[in-house]
């Protein structure tokens, strides 16, 4: 029998705060992490707001700062020592060169160029953790860190490592991303009311909100965690991954790719749909994604309590899967389901049992989804220790 994989450390930085507890308490209150863009002068831009993390910096330097804060918190909580049996898997995307490079007279240094690579955070995490085992980077848009966690689970199960430091980081409050996603028609344009812009599953949703943040977890073989006296926060029970093979920017109306990812996660965990007590949905606040995910949830899980925390955090893209996985672990720990901010008039096209405000409930198993541009889908299931 394959040994269980457990979670012994978590760390995160989000638009709601620096650290696990400040962010989680803000989520339970239903706080807003969205406001006017401060990273650059957005005057004249079609969208002038974002979900910025309360951390100074820009570009690669900002991603590095977010990564360090979240990873060190997870490692401090876990007490994990480094070594040859510790690996790293990070969900991340390439950074864009700063606009100031356009008028630089000198050439960027090799270090500056390397810091833009998708695997720059992976190298950083390995160095911080002293991890000498396998190292890999996943770059599948919004599913990146969800898949990073899943890949980490599988490495531990196969016996390749005893522990993995895994998660994701992203920071998209920058000119090119704001313009690009605006051109796609994917972003909310509520410039006059940013705090109500991200409204997953609401009838009047008009797009997602770009965000910044990082989330990291320490996963271990249960016997290793118990042997060193680590506190077990949750069991990483199941992982499912699929591809829509549909279109780049939206999901199939019947939600088949999302359905397959969740079904595979249930099979991997050895659970039935009735075992899932709460779902943290991908719920981006776009018309097509929310409706598609709702179809999949209703078909597979029925009226399971569901919420999307993106109404508070915005969309953290490559980091959202890991951050929202941490939310589901905290929901298990505290026996409380986070609510859905800005859910004022549920869309009839989204037939899900939506949790409006933080609600106490006895939780045994929680599921979290992440679905990315290009049709990548990832689902993770966590259980009480």
The residues annotated as belonging to the active site are 142, 282, 315
DSSP string, 291-316: HHHHHHHHHHH-S-EEE-THHHH-B-
| 301-326 exposure pattern, b = at least 16 Cβ within 10 A, e = fewer | beebbbbbbbbbbbbbbbbbbbbbbb
Strand duo 234-243 + 5-14: pairing:
antiparallel
Could you tell me if 187 and 47 are in contact, meaning their C-beta atoms sit under 8 angstroms apart? yes
Could you tell me if 343 and 199 are in contact, meaning their C-beta atoms sit under 8 angstroms apart? yes
Strand duo 278-280 + 163-171: pairing:
unpaired
Task: Report d(CA 18, CA 195) in Å as an integer.
Answer: 19
Q: How far apart are the first and last CA of the chain?
A: 18
Task: Report d(CA 158, CA 164) in Å as an integer.
Answer: 12
Q: Which residue has the tokens 């045994």?
A: 364
The residues near 84 (Cβ < 8 Å, ≥ 6 apart) are 132, 133
């Amino acid at each position: 029998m394959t040994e269980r994989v457990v979670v012994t450390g978590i760390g995160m930085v989000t638009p709601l705060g620096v650290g696990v507890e400040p962010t989680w308490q803000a989520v339970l209150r239903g706080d807003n992490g969205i406001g006017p863009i401060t990273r650059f002068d957005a005057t004249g831009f079609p969208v002038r707001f974002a979900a910025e993390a309360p951390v100074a910096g820009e570009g690669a330097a900002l991603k590095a700062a977010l990564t360090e804060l979240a990873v060190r918190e997870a490692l401090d909580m876990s007490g994990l020592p480094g070594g040859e049996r510790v690996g790293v898997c990070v969900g991340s995307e390439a950074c864009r060169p700063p606009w100031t490079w356009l008028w630089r007279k000198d050439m960027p240094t090799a270090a500056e160029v390397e810091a833009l690579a998708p695997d720059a955070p992976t190298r950083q995490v390995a160095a911080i953790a002293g991890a000498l085992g396998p190292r890999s980077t996943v770059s599948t848009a919004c599913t990146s860190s969800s898949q990073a966690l899943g890949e980490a689970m599988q490495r531990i199960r196969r016996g390749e490592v005893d522990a993995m430091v895994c998660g994701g980081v992203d920071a998209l409050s920058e000119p090119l991303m704001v313009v690009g996603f605006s051109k796609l028609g994917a972003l909310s344009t509520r410039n006059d009311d940013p705090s109500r812009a991200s409204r997953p599953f609401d009838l009047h949703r008009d797009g997602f909100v770009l965000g910044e943040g990082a989330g990291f977890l320490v996963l271990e073989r249960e016997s290793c965690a118990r042997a060193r006296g680590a506190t077990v926060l949750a069991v990483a029970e199941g992982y499912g991954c699929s591809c829509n093979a549909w279109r780049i920017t939206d999901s199939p109306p019947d939600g088949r790719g999302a359905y397959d990812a969740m079904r595979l996660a249930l099979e991997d965990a050895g659970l039935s749909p009735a075992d899932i007590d709460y779902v943290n949905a991908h719920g981006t606040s776009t018309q097509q994604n929310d409706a598609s995910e709702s179809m999949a949830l209703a078909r597979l899980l029925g009226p399971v309590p569901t919420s999307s925390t993106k109404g508070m955090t915005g969309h953290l893209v490559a980091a959202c899967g890991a951050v929202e996985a941490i939310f589901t672990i905290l929901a298990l720990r505290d026996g409380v389901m986070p609510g859905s901010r800005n859910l004022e008039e549920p869309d009839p096209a989204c037939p899900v049992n939506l949790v409006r405000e933080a609600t106490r409930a006895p939780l045994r198993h929680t599921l979290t989804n992440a679905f990315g541009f290009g049709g990548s889908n990832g689902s993770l299931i966590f259980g009480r220790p």
